Copies of this chain bind each other. A is one copy, B any other.
Amino acid sequence: MPTAKSTLSTSDLIRATGVKVTPARMRVLELLNGAGRPLSHSDIESALVARPIDRVTLYRVLDSLVASALALKAVDTRGVYHYSAAAAHHRHSNHVHFHCTGCGGSFCLDAKPPSAPKLPRGFQLSAIAFELRGKCKSCISG
């Protein structure tokens, strides 16, 4: 008899969204899930050099993961998109982050994100971004 599993496998997660389970999607989603921070297209390309994925395919894989809500996409202060696995992202949605403009690092802070203010009638909120920027300890002293 099959073992009861509480966590869904990567391939199950992908299949559940209705798209094909392909090696590229598997490798990228697993990479995002293992990463401790949002990764850019070129971060991912570098991480997968061993068996490279075509540049364009990688963009399309990332698009599809975002479209199926398995990943999230955000633009950084240099204007580059960074992707994170939804599962990993949710672990960080209860506190705010500090982004170092020196080293690019992201730091978890012990503070809840602010709640949304009242919106004008008829407006529909889809996202709140609260981001702190500056220099981290080692970028100042180092």
* Chain A interface residues toward B at CB < 8 A: 75-81, 96, 98, 101, 107, 109-111, 114, 116-137, 140-141
Contacts and interface: CB of A to CB of B under 8 A. Distances in A.
Contacts of A131: 128-130
Nearest to A136: B123
Contacts of A78: 75
Contacts of A76: 75
B129 A141 contact: no
A125 B97 CA distance: 12
B125 A137 contact: no
A106 to B, nearest CB: 12
A25 to B, nearest CB: 23
B114 A137 contact: no
Query: Top 8 closest A-B pairs, CB basis?
Result: A111-B117, A122-B137, A114-B114, A79-B79, A126-B134, A125-B134, A127-B133, A129-B131
Contacts of A110: 117-118
Nearest to A109: B117
A81 B125 CA distance: 23
Contacts of A127: 132-134
A98 B120 CA distance: 10
Contacts of A111: 117-118
Contacts of A124: 134-135, 140
A96 B77 contact: no
